[in-house]
Amino acid sequence: MNSNKSFTYEGKQLHKGRYYLGKILSTSKKNFDKIKNIEFRNLEKFIETNKLSKQGERFIIYTSQTETKVQAIIAIPLKNCPELDLSPKLVCNYFPKQDVIGVTYKEHLSNREEGWKILDKELIKLNKKIFNAPFEVLWVDSSQTKDSSKWITSLYYPIK
C-alpha cells in the first residue's frame, strides 16, 4: 500500500458484482456533490416506498467526465432487480464482477482528481487498461455519520 497525501493505493482487487438501483445524473463538477446527495436521498425514498432490499454501500459509476461536467449513475446496491415502474432517469441493472485497482480516502473527499491521477499512474506502471466505467464506493458517508472525519471513500478503475 502506497500513500500519496491523504489517499492510500490499495492495489489490485476483485470487485464483486451486484444489482443496483441508480439515477442517471449530468451536472457541473461544481454542483456534483450537492446534487448527488439530494438524489441519493430520493433513491432511498424510492427503495423504502417499493419495499426493496438494499445490499451493500452506495456507489457512483462515472460514465463521462470533463474539466467542468460529470455524467454518472449514482447507485444503491439491491439484492435483485424486480420488475419496477421506473422513471426515464432511473435504472435497475447489474454492475459486473471485475478486477480493479483502487485508492481509498479517509475524511471528506474534496479532491477526487488527485485520486484519479494516482490511479492513472498505477495503470501505466502495471501496463493495464481501463476496461469499464470508473467508480467510487462510499463505505462511510454523510448518510451514516455527519462527522466527515469518519467518512471513507474508495475510487476504482476496472482493469484488463
Distance linking the first and last C-alpha atoms of the chain: 21
CA dihedral 26, 135, 144, 113 (to 10 degrees): -80
Question: Tens digit of pLDDT for each residue in 86-145?
Answer: 888 999 999 999 999 999 998 877 778 899 999 999 999 999 999 999 999 999 988 888
Quote the CA–CA distance of 84 and 51 in Å, as a whole number. 11
Quote the CA–CA distance of 152 and 159 in Å, as a whole number. 22
pTM check: above 0.75? yes
The structural domains of the chain, ordered by start, are 2-158 (3.20.80.10)
